[in-house]
Structure 1
Amino acid sequence: MINLNGTITSHEAAKLSLKNRGLLYGDAVFETIKAVNGQLFFWEDHYFRLMASMRILRMAIPMHFSMEFLEDEIKKTIRAATFDKQAVRIKLYVNRKEGGKYNPTNHDVDYFIELEATGNPFYTLNEDLYRVELFKDHYIYANLLSTLKSNAKTINVLGSIYATENGYQNCLLLNEKKMVVEALQGNLFLVKGTTIITPPTSDGCLRGIIRKQLIEIGKTLKEYTIEEKSISSFDLQKADELFVTNVMIGIQPISNYRKKSYGTEVAKILLQKLNVKARLTF
C-alpha cells in the first residue's frame, strides 16, 4: 500500500506524474524510518531532519505538517498494509509540486509514503564477511547539500555498481579533499584504541539518525571518547574497528579493507546501548 497525499492506494493504482519534480530534477527529500509493531524508531529526529531539509531546499512547509500529523499518516499506512505486527521499512518522500523547469513556479509540496516488511525487529550484529574499498571515480563535495537526504544519489548508484562488479559489500566515499566521508548506505565510524571517530558533517557526510544516536551514546561511555574528526585513507589502515551505520541495519561491522582485518568489540557495546535507546523512543 502507498499513501499519496493522505490517500491510501495500492502500488498498482498509484500514479506519479511525468512532470514530478523529484523525477525530473531530483527536487525531493526523503526519510527512511524503521518501525516495529506500529511504533516508529527515533521519529522526532527524523521529523526535525526532514523539516530542516525542506527549509534548506526552500520548500513551503504546509501548516498541517506537524510531527503528529505525519506520524499519524505513517501509522495509517502501516495499518492499511496490515504491517502493524511486524518490522517495517518506511520511506517518506516529499517533493516540490510540479511546475517550471529548473526554476519552480510553485514551492508547495506533495508527499507519499511506501512500506516494505523487513526481518529483525531490533538491531543485531552481522559478523559475516564485509569487505569495503574506496570509491574514487567521483567525489562528494563538502557542502551543506551533501548532508541532506535528497534523492540525488548518482554517486551512491555508481559506487554500488562498482562494489557489486568487484565483489565488495560496500564502498567508502571520499570528498574533494580526499577525506573519507561515509559509506554508500550509511555513516562511517572508526575505532582506534579508546577513541571512536566519525567524520564531521563539514566534510560532507549525511546527518544520519543513527550517527546522532551513537554520538550521544559515546558521550556517556567512561571507557571511550568520541570525536567528530576527518578520516584519511591512511587512518583506515591503523584502525582497530570500522563500522557502517544506518536506521535499518543499526551497526554493520566492516571485516576487511584491503589486507586489514577489524574487530567488533566496540560495535557490540554500542549496539546493545542503541537497542535500549530505540526502545525508549516509543
Structure 2
Amino acid sequence: MTQNRAFLYGDAVFETVKIVNSKILFLEDHYFRLMASMRVIRMEIPMNFTMEYFEEQLLSLAIDNAFSNSCRARITIFRNDGGYYLPETNEISFLIHVVGIENALYAIADQEYEVDLFKDFYVTKQLLSSIKTTNRILNITASIFANENGLNNCLLLNDSKNVVEAIQGNIFMLMGNKLITPPISEGCLNGVMRKQILEIAKNMGSLEVVEEVISPFDLQKADELFITNVIKGIQPITKYRKKSFDAVISKDLLGKLNEIVTAI
C-alpha cells in the first residue's frame, strides 16, 4: 500500500456501476467512459481489457458475494507502483468492490431534500473535471460542509461562478417546459445517468431539452431541480434557501427510467 500510486498521488480512475439481475445497467456507456478516462491520463489499456472482460470481472465478484440481484460495484484502475510524480510505467492494475443494494428499481423517497451552494472551492472548466479520478477532495470537503450545515447536498460552482453539478451527481433544472443541464464544457462530470435522462426527456416530446449555463440566480426561478447518478437514478431537490420545488417531471422521468431498467 505504501507504494500504491492511487494512495500516494491519486493516480487512478474509477467507474461505479449498478448491477440488476446479473446485468450491468448501461454497460456500454460505463465501459467507454472508463476507456476514455484512461486515455486522458495516459494509462496503458491492456489488450484483453475488452467490454466483455470488464463485464465479466464485475459480475463474477457480484455473483460470488451473492449480490447479483441488486448491487453497486466500483472498479478502480491505478497505475502500477514506481516513480514519484513521473511514473516508471503506464501499466495498470485494478481493484473491484461490491456492495448490496436493497431495491433493484429506482425510487424517490418522500422526504425533504435541501441543498445550498458550496463556495469554498471551485470546479475547473477542463477535461479532467469530466472524468472520474480518485482525486475527489473538493467533493469530500463539500460533503463535510453539507453535513455541518444540515444540508442533504451541495451544488458546486465552476471558476466562472456558474452551477456545475451536485456533490455526487449531475444537476437538472426545469423552467416552464424547458429542461436545462450544464454542458460538459462547464466542468461537470460526463455522467452516464445524465446521458440517459437527456435521451428520455427528448423523447417525451413535451419538453425543450437544452445544455446551457446555469447561474445561481436561475435556481430561485426554477420550477424543479433534480440530481442524477447511476446508483440513485433521480433525486428531486425540494428546497434551496427559501424556495421549495415540485417533483412532477422528476417522477415522470423516473417512471420512464425504470421501464428501461426492467427491459434490460
Give TM-score, length-normalised by structure 2.
Answer: 0.98
Matches within 5 A, 1:122-201: 122-201=105-184
* 1:51 matched to 2:51: no
Query: What letter corresponds to residue 167 of structure 1 in structure 2?
Result: G
Residue number among 229, 234, 240 corresponding to 1:251 in the alignment: 234
CA contact (8 A) 1:42 1:278 kept: no
> Aligned partners of 1:219, 1:131: CA distance in 2, in Å?
27
CA–CA distance in 1 between the matches of 2:41 and 2:195? 22
Map residues 78-117 of structure 1 onto 2, 5 A cutoff.
78-84=62-68, 86-117=69-100
Secondary structure, in 3 states, of the residue corresponding to 2:151? coil
Secondary structure at the aligned position of 1:114 is classed as strand
The residue type paired with residue 241 of structure 1 is E
1:176 positional shift: 0.5
How far has the Cα of 1:144 moved from its partner?
Answer: 0.4
Q: Residues 127 and 255 of structure 1 are in contact (CA less than 8 Å); yes or no, is this contact kept in structure 2?
A: no
The residue aligned with 1:67 is 51
SS of equivalent to 1:219: helix
Is the 1:38–1:75 Cα contact (8 Å) retained in structure 2?
yes
Segments of 5+ residues of structure 2 without an aligned counterpart are none
Q: Distance in 1 between matches of 2:53 and 2:205?
A: 39
Residues 168-205 of structure 1, C-alpha deviations (whole Å, 9 max, x = no match): 00000000000000000100000000000001000000
- Give 1:87 deviation, angstroms: 1.1
Task: Return the alpha-carbon distance in structure 2 between the equivalents of residues 254 and 167 of structure 1.
Answer: 14
Q: How does 1:254-269 map to 2 (within 5 A)?
A: 254-269=237-252
Further displaced range: 248-257 or 214-223: 214-223
**Alpha-carbon deviation of 1:269?**
1.1
Distance 1:30 1:221 in 2: 32
2:95 and 2:177 map into 1 onto residues whose CA distance is 43
Segment of structure 1 superposing worse, 251-260 or 110-119: 110-119
2:216 to 194, 214, 233: 233
SS in 2 for 1:46: helix
Counting aligned pairs with the same residue, the percent is 48
Q: Residues 223-260 of structure 1, C-alpha deviation per residue, up to 9 Å, x if partnerless?
A: 11110001000000000000001011100000000000
Q: What is the root-mean-square deviation in Å for CA atoms of aligned residues?
A: 0.8
AA matched with 2:80: K
1:75 and 1:201 map into 2 onto residues whose CA distance is 30
Task: State yes or no: 1:24 paired with 2:44.
Answer: no
What one-letter code is carried by the residue in structure 2 that aligns with 1:188?
Answer: I
